[in-house]
Amino acid sequence: MTELLGVSRTALMDAVAGWGFKPIHGQRVWRHLHAHGRDDFASLERLPAGLAATLATHTSTTWLPVARDTISSDSFTRKYLLTLDDGRQVETVLMRYASRATACISTQVGCAMGCVFCATGQMGFDRHLTTAEIVGQAMHISRVLAGTGERLRNVVLMGMGEPLHNYDATIAATHILCDTAGLALSPSRMTLSTVGVVPGIIRLADDREPVSLAVSLHAATQDERATMIPVAKAWPLDVLMEACRYYCDTMDRHIFYEWTLIAGTNDGPDAAHALGRLLSSQRAHVNLIPLNPTEGYDGLPTHHRAAKAFQAVLAEYGLPSTIRQRRGIDIAAGCGQLAAHG
């Protein structure tokens, strides 16, 4: 049984042709599914008799049922616990601020990278998500927004998991979500965040993938980084920086660097200067994320004043930066807080 949400438009047109129908009918089905969020194909006009039944025999559409729906106290953030076909669960977040809706999507159940301060890392790796399951999360958010006449425009692949550890399924999903006959998201409004999987960064550049890239740094020396991110041992900082430069040169664009600010650990002037020196020759934008609490890590977030001071040092190196607003913390929907314990 083919999971329809994970099939590209051209692949569906080919399959429909293989069943003896015209490719254009496959296109109509695909559009009904992705642009209108509907799989009641029998109700489609001008569809040849038999195609809806053939689809029902050979394909299925899983809309990822909602096991839990939580809204933050300020009502800007909404977190969904979604159930997959095999009973496993993932979290997907809808953020609404500055009149902009953003979906934060997961790419794996758990994560193998083991970053010490991250709830997903603390739960370990369970399995990769399929393309259909990644697309399904965006479709869920899109359908929620459609109910209030809004459109999904921004997607961040920053939920549970490491997207470049699940490269093929993730990239196939970005293509489907950007298809102009479907949700038609703009690739530049889709940001993929990686812990620093070097072969994946090089492949993104070689494949000229148009999504925006964010790289999680958190430390500007190899030794410090390796204590926070175990996989930094596999892809040391100098190798990572070389891959980032290759990406920027090949793609002719900048990278967002993420820096989780942990009080007394990586938020002092020395760390800020080290980061400034590391990135001063690069086209970069730094996103500073005050640490969000997780069960398995004792660290505390940097105070806003210290974050501002950190930002001022980066400015001395000509490095633009943003302090990410803390939202959805009361429902554990902030960066690094997603986990699915049912």
Report, as residue numbers or ranges, the catalytic residues: 91, 335
If binding is defined by CB under 6 A, does position 336 make contact with ligand SAH? yes
Minimum CB separation of residue 154 from ligand SAH in Å reads 15
Nearer CB in complex with ligand SF4: 13/214: 214
- Residue 258 site contact among ligand SAH, ligand SF4, none (CB < 5 to 8 Å, cut-off depends on kind): ligand SAH
Q: Are 47 and 29 in contact (CB under 8 A)?
A: yes
| Rounded Cα distance, 277 and 317, in Å | 7
The size of the chain, in residues, is: 342
- Binding ligand SAH (rule: CB under 6 A), the pick from 294, 302, 311, 321 is 294
**For tokens 């933050």, what's the residue?**
72
CB 51 within 8 A of CB 312: no
Give dist(CA 236, CA 229) in Å, integer.
Answer: 10
d(CA 290, CA 261): 5
Query: Which region among 17-25, 85-93, 171-179, 192-200 touches ligand SAH (by CB under 6 A)?
Result: 192-200
91 lies in the binding site for ligand SAH (CB under 6 A): no
To ligand SF4, the closest distance from the beta carbon of 29 in angstroms equals 35
Instruction: Retrieve residue 278's tokens.
Output: 């590391």
- The single residue among 136, 161, 200, 276 that binds ligand SF4, judged by CB under 6 A, is 161
Contact 126, 133 (CB under 8 A): no
Say whether residue 195 binds ligand SF4 (CB under 6 A). Answer: yes
- Is 321 one of the binding residues for ligand SAH (CB under 6 A)? no
Distances (CA, A) of 256 to 59, 110, 178, 224, 295: 39, 23, 21, 20, 27
Tokens describing residue 164: 């470049």
- For residue 151 the two structure tokens come to 């459109």
Beta pairing class for 100-104 and 2-3:
unpaired
176 binds ligand SF4 (CB under 6 A): no
Closest distance of CB 336 from ligand SAH, Å: 2
If the CB atoms of residues 6 and 328 are measured against ligand SAH, the closer one turns out to be 328
Q: Which of ligand SAH, ligand SF4, none does residue 292 bind (CB under 5 to 8 Å by kind)? A: ligand SAH
Using CB under 6 A as the binding rule, whether residue 200 contacts ligand SF4 is answered as no
Q: Which residues are at the interface with ligand SF4 (CB under 6 A)?
A: 111, 113-115, 118, 120-121, 161-162, 195, 336
